Structure 1
Amino acid sequence: MDLNYSPEEQAFRVEVRQWLSDTLPRDLSEKVRLGKRLTKEDSVLWHQLLNARGWLAPNWPKSHGGAEWNAVQRQIFEEEACLAHAPRVVPFGLSMLAPVLMAFGSEEQCQRFLPRILSGEDWWCQGYSEPGAGSDLAAVKTRAVRDGDSYVVNGQKTWTTLGQYANWIFCLVRTDPDVKKQEGISFLLIDMNTPGVTVRPIVLIDGGAEVNEVFFDNVRVPAENLVGDENKGWTYAKYLLTHERTNIAGVGFSTAALETLKDVAGKVQAGGKPLAQNPLFAARVAQVEIDLMAMATTNLRVVSAAAKGQAPGAESSMLKVKGTVIRQELTALLRRAVGPDAMAFQPDYLEGGDNVDMMGPEHAASAAPSYFNMRKLSIFGGSNEVQRTIITKAILGL
Structure 2
Amino acid sequence: MATAQIDALTDPIEAFRLHVREWLAAHFPPSLKGKDNAMSAVEGPHENSPEEDSWQAAMGAKGWGVPTWPKEYGGGGLSRSEARVLHEEMARIGAWNPIGGMGVMMFGPTLLEYGSEAQKEEHIPAIAKGIVRWCQGYSEPGAGSDLASLQMFAEDHGDHYLVNGQKTWTSGGQWADKCFMLVRTDKTKKHEGITFLLCDMDTPGVEVKPIRLISGSSPFCETFFTDVKVSKANRVGEEGQGWTIGKRLLQHERSSLSGGGSAAGRLFAAGAPLAQIARKYIGVDEQGRIADMDLRGRIVRHEMDLRAFLLTLRRASLEAKSTQGPSAATSIMKNVGARIMQERSELLIEIRGLAGLGWEGEGFEADALKDVRSWLFGKAVSIYGGSSEIQNNVIAKRILGMLDHQ
Distance verdict in 2 for CA 1:334–1:255, change over 3 Å: same
Q: Secondary structure at the match of 2:181?
A: strand
Which residue of structure 1 aligns with residue 32 of structure 2?
25
Distance verdict in 2 for CA 1:146–1:43, change over 3 Å: farther
Kindly provide the amino acid, as one letter, of the partner of residue 49 in structure 1.
W
Kindly provide the amino acid, as one letter, of the partner of residue 244 in structure 2.
T
CA distance in 1, matches of 2:141, 2:295: 40
Instruction: Count matched residues.
Output: 375
Q: What are the residue-to-residue correspondences of 1:1-398 with 2, within 5 Å?
A: 22-23=29-30, 25=32, 39-41=45-47, 49-50=55-56, 52-53=58-59, 54=62, 55-67=64-76, 68=78, 70=80, 77=87, 90-179=100-189, 181-250=190-259, 252-257=265-270, 259-270=272-283, 276-346=290-360, 358-398=362-402
Gaps of 5+ in 1: 1-6, 347-356
Offset of 1:152 from its aligned partner?
0.4
CA distance in 2, matches of 1:47, 1:244: 27
Q: Which has the larger radius of gyration?
A: 2
Offset of 1:86 from its aligned partner?
6.1
Kindly provide the amino acid, as one letter, of the partner of residue 281 in structure 2.
V
Tell me the TM-score normalized by structure 2. 0.80
Q: Secondary structure at the match of 1:41?
A: coil
Kindly provide the amino acid, as one letter, of the partner of residue 359 in structure 1.
G
Gaps of 5+ in 2: 1-12
CA distance in 2, matches of 1:229, 1:276: 60
Distance verdict in 2 for CA 1:232–1:322, change over 3 Å: same
Distance verdict in 2 for CA 1:255–1:206, change over 3 Å: closer
Contact 1:254–1:327 (CA under 8 A) maintained in structure 2: yes
Between the aligned residues of both structures, percent identity stands at: 38
Of 141-150 and 326-335, deviating more is: 326-335
Of 160-169 and 298-307, deviating more is: 298-307
CA distance in 1, matches of 2:49, 2:301: 33
Tell me the TM-score normalized by structure 1. 0.82
Contact 2:135–2:179 (CA under 8 A) maintained in structure 1: yes
Kindly provide the amino acid, as one letter, of the partner of residue 47 in structure 2.
E
Contact 1:29–1:84 (CA under 8 A) maintained in structure 2: no
